Structure 1
Amino acid sequence: MRKLFLSMVFGVLASGIVCAQESEEKLYYNDFHKWQVRLRGILVTPDESANIGLIGGDAAISKSFMPELDFTYYFTKNIAAELILGTTNHDVKAINTAVGNLDLGDVWLLPPTLTFQYHWNVEENVRPYVGAGFNYTIFYNAANGPIADNVDYENSFSPAMQFGIDFDISKRWFINIDAKYLFLSTDVEVDATSALGAVVNAEVDINPFIAGIGIGFKL
């Protein structure tokens, strides 16, 4: 999934740079707004894997559907920065371990993400973009589940890639389709002293693919 997403982003970016010069006289460029806001519904699909000490096994992290809000500022008609805000909840399990499958409860993720984008026109009202940036994920309100006395997730920085399209439906309103991939990992400490007599440490790659659709407004 990661290789497919990256190849798609770089392929679209290459074609977009060629198209941008041909699009400068289109309607969008005559109706330029520096600020935009979008509200999306997003589906977060983890591409997880784990290295679990002592008991081995892997991680299983549930999908999550949540709203997402973002603000975009245009430095030029093509170059912009986007701040993405949202929070998601995920069930977490350790699977195929030496002691079976373990329910580790759930945890909330708050991953504010900043991307720098390149936008261009392919039609008067169709505006694709690609972006790259970084993310800082905060793990909070972890529920430990029946096995662990405590589960601690380490907050972490990660790179982010992005691809999307805006479809204008009026001079200010537009429909947005967006996809992101975060190269996200965390160190996890599971205190299972009561149930297993041990504290288990794990390195977990979450690597979520985030697909969203929503509506935007040019301020």
Structure 2
Amino acid sequence: MFFCKDCDGFRVRGKRIAIYGWADEAVEYALGMLFYSPSVAIVTNGKKTRWSEKHAKWIEEYKIPVFRQRIAQLGREGCQVRELSFDDGTRTEIEALFATRGDIYFNKLAKNLGAEVDEDGQIIVDLCLRTTIKGVYAAGCVTPANCQMIIAAGQGATAAQTINRDLFEESLATHALRKYRAVQLDDLQETGSPKDRRTLAEATPSSEEGLLGIGIEAETHRFDQSG
């Protein structure tokens, strides 16, 4: 059983393929899989179809079989899918099954914080992964990005860099960095040599002007990495 036609389409070249779904995405998956196999069908498992009139015409134009019955049993050999049996007694042989039930976006926290989502429920972000609420960021499958782990990981890195940069700019705007610098200069004058910057961060007085402590910690990592 597969989820991504872009990742796994090449694995099922020339095989009998079933697309599980009942919305526009299922039709588009079926059409896309025609590049890999001439034997592609859609199975809805008895669900009422929700594809558009345009997608319905594509099904007719490209002669895609649609099984609208409920699936009663899945036949297999070992770990391999081999057959779908329906509740009306009919069967169809398959060698690969792709699921397209749609995405579920876990956006409750973001929405409670006031962040906007699109009509599908995806959290709206800019190119740097900022949401519509200052100080709230989002990455991965809750955003309009393609839902793949490698993309989510890259977005996470982008969001982290954005947070670091935003905190640094805030520390300049609120003059919080100046207080940190004062501690540095006092220490240099007293000891003649720099201390570990994490020790300095812990010694810096707390401030109500922005996220001073977090900003210092973020910049500490940047200083440490750059030497």
TM-score range, shorter chain: under 0.3
For normalisation by structure 2, the TM-score amounts to: 0.23
Give the structure with the larger strand fraction. Answer: 1
Q: Which has the higher contact order (CA 8 A, sep 6+)?
A: 1
Give me the TM-score of the superposition, normalised by structure 1: 0.23
- Which one has the bigger helix percentage? 2
